Amino acid sequence: MLDLFAGTGALSFEALSHGASHALLVDRNPLAIRQITQSAKELGVEAEVRTACVNLLGDAVDAVHRLPTTDGHFSLVFVDAPYAEVDAIPRLLDALIASGRLTLGAWVVVEHPTGHDWTWPNGLASEAHYRYGRTSISLGVYAPEKGAQ
């Protein structure tokens, strides 16, 4: 799995506890990366966790190319960008798709503010949308044959 804008890493640690085999956690804050590394050690999952300190809000293609390579492709992606930067997410997802690092049928989970007009970039199809007050969660699946929805 891939956790973009990982923060504390809680989403990845939860996914690992439910069977994810490995996780790449990415954040632009070196302090967050150090805390994630410490938490992984305390939880006994350091072998399953890789981290990267990358500014995901700059050039999206460059940011994706700076992600460490993994043994496989990602079948689950969490994206929880700062709400003020949510407009950068589609470019980031486009770059991730273009890099060929998503498995066919990969799930992409995006948190964004309710009221933001969220649309999926080409190659990602909408599967579900949930609203929790001022927070919305959109679930998409990598299905190039379906196009954007």
Q: How far is CA 64 from CA 100, 115, 128, in A?
A: 11, 28, 25
Query: For residue 40, what pLDDT band results from cuts at 50, 70 and 90?
Result: very high
d(CA 18, CA 34): 23
d(CA 37, CA 123): 32
Query: For residue 149, what pLDDT band results from cuts at 50, 70 and 90?
Result: very low
H-assigned helices in the chain? 10-17, 30-43, 60-65, 89-98
Which homologous superfamily is 2-142 in?
Vaccinia Virus protein VP39 (3.40.50.150)
DSSP E strand boundaries for 5-143:
23-27, 49-53, 74-79, 102-113, 124-132, 135-142
Question: pLDDT, tens digit, for every residue of 87-129?
Answer: 999 999 999 999 999 999 999 999 999 988 888 988 999 999 9
DSSP secondary structure code for residue 118 in this structure: -
Q: What is the mean pLDDT of residues 23-46?
A: 97
